[in-house]
Amino acid sequence: MKSMKLALATVIASAGLATAAFAEKAYGPGVTDTEIKIGNIMPYSGPASAYGIIGKTQAAYFKMINDQGGINGRKINFISYDDAYSPPKTVEQARKLVESDNVLLIFAPLGTPPNSAIHKYMNMKKVPHLFLATGATKWNDPKHFPWTMGWQPSYQAEGKIYAKYLLEKNPKAKVAILYQNDDYGKDYLKGFMDGLDGKIKPAITLSYEVSDPTIDSQMTRMQASGADTFMNITTPKFAAMAIKKAAEMKWKPMHFLNNVSASVGAVLKPAGFENAQGIISTAYMKDATDPQWKDDAGLKKWSEFIDKYMPGANKADGGLVTGYNDAQTLVQVLKQCGDNLTRENVMKQAASLKPMQQEMMLPGVLIQTSATDFGPIQQEQLMKFEKDHWERFGPVYDARKH
């Protein structure tokens, strides 16, 4: 009798354990025992189509993960649509992904205007809008937009880093600021001013419009102000103009150039390498063309991935590094979700990333988040343009530490 009771108790206990284990599995839309459906929106056509390589790299990375068995046994079904960098098209594609394809989340849509167009929609629908490919500071607002999270360093975070360096090197600097008169320019400007913390008051602050044919008059006025430091918050076309004009005027201030315009090919080469010597910008990812990484284990792993999954791709294209890095961050979040793949838990795990060093991030640049901080990357290192390339220098700056 005793042994029967014991056997019965064991059966009941086992059934209880089985029920508990079964109950632990929780799936949101787009998830089954074998699949996780992820949505994405990229400009594969249109004016920003060069960035489409990021989406192609993400697709290749998820194929590699699937070839390795997937995430906790589930394969990623990556559905990526083209919005041609047109906000109305972004809205159309987001609705399709959420309402027709029933994806679990939308991952890494590119650009500030496209993401702004779906910002409220994604939060109203309570669908994770995760690791956006844009540096606008507004993506880090868990209180008002708990379903949206950026990925790359924010423009304000970068602005603060330039200010920190300037205060260390020349606390009596006479600063001239040129910024693009829109949300992007104002975002950088706010970060820079917050970083200066009133310790340096700019000698002159000027703006320009995207439609302006030239910025010559602003450059002349800045030089006339007697400024010895130039904070250059411009997009590539105007950055190249500013560098050329400063050289023509023989104005040689300490020159900070925002990372948006740090492209050697798109900005510094057209402006003339001889005119760009000594310009300071920031970096947070490894440059695959930099010889210092030739024996780096992380770069070798990335290079092998490109050779196998994207044969023939141009390894000098930074989009291959960006796509690899942010896809890796998403995989970590999905791993942490385990069998609880609800939209709520995706956001919970995305907001609890412990400090993590990824292979193609610069040493010391760690990805981390919390329930009150939706900015995964807030560390960058300064770099100076020498001869025909960027040279990193100094410590890794952390915008979280004031």
pLDDT digits (tens, 9 = 90+) for 98-144: 999 999 999 999 988 899 999 999 999 999 999 999 999 999 999 99
Return the C-alpha torsion angle 349, 350, 354, 358, nearest 10: 130
Q: Tokens at residue 252, please?
A: 């040689």
Neighbours of 312 (CB within 10 A): 6
> DSSP alpha helices (H): ranges in 249-372?
269-271, 297-309, 319-337, 343-350
Is the same domain home to 148 and 163?
no
The answer as to whether 22 is a domain residue is no
Question: C-alpha angle with apex 222: 219 to 224, nearest 5 degrees?
Answer: 110
Is the same domain home to 172 and 217?
yes
Is the same domain home to 263 and 392?
yes
The yes-or-no verdict on residue 19 having pLDDT over 80 is no
Which H or E run contains 397? strand 389-398
Region 17-37: mean pLDDT is: 78
Is the same domain home to 113 and 232?
no
Number of domains in the chain: 2
Where residue 263 sits, what CATH number does that domain have?
A: 3.40.50.2300
Is the same domain home to 179 and 43?
no
Neighbours of 48 (CB within 10 A): 18
The answer as to whether 202 is a domain residue is yes
Averaged confidence pLDDT in the chain: 92
Question: The domain containing residue 62 runs over which residues?
Answer: 35-153+292-371
Structure confidence at residue 1 as a pLDDT band (50, 70, 90): low
Region 240-265: mean pLDDT is: 94
pLDDT tens for each residue of 306-330: 999 999 998 888 889 999 999 999 9
Is the same domain home to 149 and 160?
no
The yes-or-no verdict on residue 399 having pLDDT over 50 is yes
pTM for the whole thing?
0.83
What is the C-alpha separation between 38 and 131, in angstroms, rounded?
13
What is the C-alpha separation between 304 and 267, in angstroms, rounded?
30
State residue 3's pLDDT score: 54
Which residues fall within 8 angstroms of residue 143, CB to CB, at 6 or more apart?
Answer: none
Number of alpha helices (DSSP H) and beta strands (DSSP E) in the chain? 12, 14
Region 255-259: mean pLDDT is: 95
The answer as to whether 103 is a domain residue is yes
pLDDT tens for each residue of 33-46: 999 999 999 999 98
